[in-house]
Amino acid sequence: MKIVVISDIHANLDAFMALPETGDELWVLGDLVDYGPNPSELVALVRSRGDVVIRGNHDQAVGFGEDPGCRLRYQQMAIETQGFTIRSIGDDLRGYLQHLPVRRTVERDGKKFYLCHAIPSNPLYGYCPADSDQWSREVNEIETDYLLVGHTPFIRKMGSTTVVNPGSLGQPKTGKPDACYAVWYDDHFELKQFAYPFNETIKKLEQLPVSQEVKRDLETVLVSGSLS
């Protein structure tokens, strides 16, 4: 069985459509929306194609009109794009985001997978760097072969559990614009990246009904992976 795992799409339809691999299943680890220019198209496609989908903090924020809990400069981007996103997706797709689970455990080929957007102890808003000692505590609280989380790509073996982060498909924070994802096949995970036409996404960002400062920040993050 082959499973393609993606996360943090952030309404980036161009990256999603350019995903170069298909598998028996597509798993999505949250943050379908905010920051990107195509929220309604993206959420509709994930609803139709995603086999296992969980809720991220930006899905929570858009679904329930809440604060996504971002750092200051990202907060302004989230606030302005959140209004656009809510107006764009309509009640049906917003309801879909509201009903996504915040964590889920599934079994495939005799292996157990625990999925959440952030960390098990705080599945929406927690953040834990790849080399943090906190992962051992997080893993000790669950019983699973694989713990799948979002944000920045890494694979880390913790005893009998492997923590896997596929990275961001729609707003990579790796220092370059290549989209990130992961593939599970034959009881093995592989992290992958691919180039996509991000200049087309930038053209769409320039048309968003947000401030010029936010447009510049959105474009900078898309290309360079940070605002520093």
Is the pLDDT assigned to residue 177 strictly greater than 80? yes
Is the pLDDT assigned to residue 118 strictly greater than 80? yes
Task: Give the per-residue pLDDT at 73.
Answer: 77
Q: What percent of the chain has pLDDT over 70?
A: 100
Question: If you average pLDDT over residues 97-125, what whole number do you get?
Answer: 97
Task: Give the per-residue pLDDT at 163.
Answer: 98
Write out pLDDT tens, residues 9-55.
999 999 999 999 999 999 999 999 999 999 999 999 999 999 999 99
DSSP conformation letters of the chain? -EEEEE---TT-HHHHHT-----SEEEE-S--SSSSS-HHHHHHHHHHH-SEE---HHHHHHHHT------HHHHHHHHHHHHHHHHHHHHHHHHHHHTS-SEEEEEETTEEEEEESSBTTBTTT----TT-THHHHHHHTS--SEEE--SS-EEEEETTEEEEE---SSS--SSS--EEEEEEESS-EEEEEE---HHHHHHHHTTSSS-HHHHHHHHHHHHHS---
Q: What percent of the chain has pLDDT over 90?
A: 92
Is the pLDDT assigned to residue 176 strictly greater than 80? yes
Write out pLDDT tens, residues 207-219.
999 999 999 999 9
Question: If you average pLDDT over residues 158-180, what whole number do you get?
Answer: 95
Task: Give the per-residue pLDDT at 131.
Answer: 93
Confidence of residue 225 (pLDDT cuts 50, 70, 90): confident
Task: Give the per-residue pLDDT at 219.
Answer: 95
Confidence of residue 228 (pLDDT cuts 50, 70, 90): low
The maximal CA–CA distance of the chain, rounded, in angstroms, is 51
Return left, alpha or beta for 15; rule: phi > 0 is left, psi -120 to 50 is alpha, else beta.
alpha
Closest CA to 85 of 101, 106, 108, 68: 68
Residue 152 and residue 227: Cα distance in Å, rounded? Answer: 15
Write out pLDDT tens, residues 43-100.
999 999 999 999 999 999 999 999 999 887 789 999 999 999 999 999 999 999 999 9
The helix-helix angle for 72-98 and 212-224 (nearest 10°) equals: 80
Task: Give the per-residue pLDDT at 72.
Answer: 79
User: Domains in the chain and their CATH numbers?
Assistant: 2-103+168-224 (3.60.21.10)
Task: Give the per-residue pLDDT at 71.
Answer: 81
